[in-house]
Structure 1
Amino acid sequence: MLKTLPLNARGIPASRIALGCMGLGGGWDHEPLTAENIRQGHDAVEAALSIGINFFDHADIYTRGKAEKVFGQIFKDRPRLREEIIIQSKCGIRLIEPGDTSNTFDISGEHILRSVDGTLSRLGTEYLDILLLHRPDPLMDPEEIAEALRQLKKAGKVRHFGVSNMSASQIRLLQHYCDEPFIVNQLHMSLAQISWLDAMVSVNREPWKDITFPEGTVEYCRMENIQLQAWGPLAQGSFSGRSLEGQPENIVQTAALVSSLAEQKNTTPEAIVLSWLMTHPAAIQPVIGTVNPKRIAACAGADKVGLSRKEWYELYISSRGEKLP
């Protein structure tokens, strides 16, 4: 039985699945938006709404701000929509620019405040429902971050806060200084990205040393009522139609198993892949990254598939590529 989302328990009426908006706005360049970019945005939003999705995930860097600009135009075209949906965005990554050698991370107070103002301007809204700190910054000062979040909350610019790609210890450090609770942690989790499970089943075993997923993070989020969100939950289509040429045997076999289960249950491979995540008792909220209306529609009913314990383990072990101890 699927658990209630921790967001719902906090009074935030979030849909079981969220739509990630990274694919909106065209290329990751400085080219202006086109009419086609806006049309694509409308089509993606309409497809999401049609299957009950009311939660939309952004980041200030997505297509260099153009994804948020697309939504800004959608809000202009559909002014009532803003109050009907939940908007989450993220900040904390500085994209590589000419002369740079890499992206860098920045969750300084100054950068957070400036980023939120930019996001609100591009979206054409006065507030974010949720702001996530996108990546852990080795130079982060938790007291400085706390003050920035306090200012955003007081100004009514952000209603709730969370993090992305952070461990339990990193969240605890920030929470020690911040008055507002962190209510989301968005992590890379999918049937292809299973280190979060391997970290659990490999305790006190030799493979433990090779697992980088931080121990205790999933458990901590469950105990603290922090919504676990999964980015990349469809595994870039590896189990739902993408070419498997050159893929390892475990991925090929798992794709075949997903297809077989989808046929047995009269549903789509996408729904099976999402259902596998959503069956976990942590009440994980998948953030699907596709903006293709047909693929969005294929995710409908994932929360009603009903995988058995046996089927869930068959998928996990197949993806893992080796038996459990």
Structure 2
Amino acid sequence: MRTMKLGTSNLEVPVIAVGCMRINSLEQAEAEKFVQTALEAGANFFDHADIYGSGKCEEIFADAIHMNDDVREKIILQSKCGIRQGMFDFSKEHILNSVDGILKRLKTDYLDVLLLHRPDALVEPEEVAEAFDKLESSGKVRHFGVSNQNPMQIKLLKKHVKQPLVANQLQLSITNATMISSGINVNMENAAAVNRDGSILDYCRLHDITIQPWSPFQYGFFEGVFLGNEKFPELNRKIDEIAAKYEVSNTTIAIAWLLRHPAKMQPVTGTMNLERILDCCKAADITLTREEWYEIYRAAGNVLP
């Protein structure tokens, strides 16, 4: 699979990340087959979080991949922390304890990437910096990033955090593309899209922070997928038309739409379906034309000013 550098790091990663949030829905044999299928397709970057399945997803993954030193050298592991029952927590103590739990469940000595999950309103950047320094010096975490954060929140962290923030995991799909639309509808009265995130797309591009789109097939928050959905007839007609041209599935085109953006994003899949994960991986070989990208954008109901 085609690869890219993650942020400003020298970490070479596949352009598709395999999200493991739903791996606890699989039986052991199914989980083993899923992981092996992803690896054979060149998708060796696996995304986790300590809250997925209350930690069970990380355990299931480690068992499914038969984690050992040889296996560990061939894969890239990312996990996230900071969400607790009823609160968010970026305290030094919680970050350090969370990473220890993650490493134990994944049966490894280190994470390639650790992301802070959702913004903590009570964040103290000094504590985050202390936690990151300790995790880096101990070798438990090699690279750091954030998730669902806007430019000012990142700047606040960077006031004290010395490590580069290599990734920002953000919700983005064809139907959830306000971070793109707000950049198109500039200085427009009654603009079709409101800038709610401080131009995070441009900020990440300016600072070489890799955007990792999560829920790339979802509309709304978690209302459902847009592919094959009767709520989006025009969009599905256009995607199917372009999919037929490239002789791939609609899944492939939906991911290819994200990969076509010059921000050099790394979409995070969420499917546990073997055929669909392979279709996602095929997107790495598809480059949509500018015309096709905009046709899909407009078919989703986005209006150009």
CA offset at residue 296 of structure 1?
A: 0.6
**Is 1:283 the counterpart of 2:270 in the alignment?**
no
Runs of 5+ consecutive residues of structure 2 not aligned to the other structure: none
Partner of 2:18: 19
Q: Work out which of the residue numbers 110, 114, 120 in structure 2 matches 1:131.
A: 114
**Is 1:153 the counterpart of 2:136 in the alignment?**
yes
**Is 1:238 the counterpart of 2:212 in the alignment?**
no
CA offset at residue 46 of structure 1?
A: 1.2
Letter matched to residue 252 of structure 2: A
CA distance in 1, matches of 2:237, 2:192: 31
CA offset at residue 322 of structure 1?
A: 4.5
Partner of 1:65: 55
Partner of 1:323: 303
Q: Which moved more, 1:201-210 or 1:284-293?
A: 201-210
Q: Any residues of structure 2 matched to 1:42-61 within 5 Å, and which?
A: 42-61=32-51
CA distance in 1, matches of 2:226, 2:49: 26
Would the aligned equivalents of 2:7 and 2:210 in 1 still touch at CA under 8 Å? no
CA shift in 2, pair 1:105/1:153, >3 Å: same
CA shift in 2, pair 1:55/1:133, >3 Å: same
The C-alpha deviation readout for 1:136-171, integer Å capped at 9, x for no partner, is 110000001110111111111100100000001111
CA distance in 2, matches of 1:77, 1:219: 38
Letter matched to residue 11 of structure 1: N
Letter matched to residue 113 of structure 1: L
Would the aligned equivalents of 2:79 and 2:113 in 1 still touch at CA under 8 Å? yes
Letter matched to residue 216 of structure 1: S
Partner of 1:40: 30
CA offset at residue 209 of structure 1?
A: 9.1
Q: Which moved more, 1:4-13 or 1:283-292?
A: 4-13
CA distance in 1, matches of 2:264, 2:295: 20
Q: Which moved more, 1:230-239 or 1:104-113?
A: 230-239
Q: Work out which of the residue numbers 163, 166, 186 in structure 2 matches 1:183.
A: 166
CA shift in 2, pair 1:72/1:114, >3 Å: same
Report the TM-score when normalising by structure 1. Answer: 0.87
Runs of 5+ consecutive residues of structure 1 not aligned to the other structure: 27-35, 96-102
Aligned length, in residue pairs: 300
CA distance in 2, matches of 1:191, 1:107: 31
The C-alpha deviation readout for 1:192-239, integer Å capped at 9, x for no partner, is 111111110122113459625313211111121111111011237734
Would the aligned equivalents of 1:239 and 1:269 in 2 still touch at CA under 8 Å? no
| SS of residue matched to 1:163 | strand
Q: Any residues of structure 2 matched to 1:44-123 within 5 Å, and which?
A: 44-76=34-66, 79-95=69-85, 103-123=86-106
Report the TM-score when normalising by structure 2. Answer: 0.92
Aligned CA RMSD, in angstroms, stands at: 2.0
CA distance in 1, matches of 2:287, 2:49: 32
Would the aligned equivalents of 1:75 and 1:124 in 2 still touch at CA under 8 Å? no
The C-alpha deviation readout for 1:67-109, integer Å capped at 9, x for no partner, is 10012213546652211010000001113xxxxxxx3211111
| SS of residue matched to 1:183 | strand
- Identity fraction in percent: 43
CA offset at residue 44 of structure 1?
A: 1.5
CA distance in 1, matches of 2:212, 2:83: 19
| SS of residue matched to 2:281 | coil
CA shift in 2, pair 1:210/1:233, >3 Å: closer
CA offset at residue 298 of structure 1?
A: 1.6
The C-alpha deviation readout for 1:7-59, integer Å capped at 9, x for no partner, is 17622120010100001123xxxxxxxxx532232122112112211100000
CA distance in 2, matches of 1:163, 1:9: 14
CA distance in 1, matches of 2:290, 2:81: 38
CA offset at residue 253 of structure 1?
A: 1.1
Q: Work out which of the residue numbers 249, 254, 257 in structure 1 matches 2:238.
A: 257
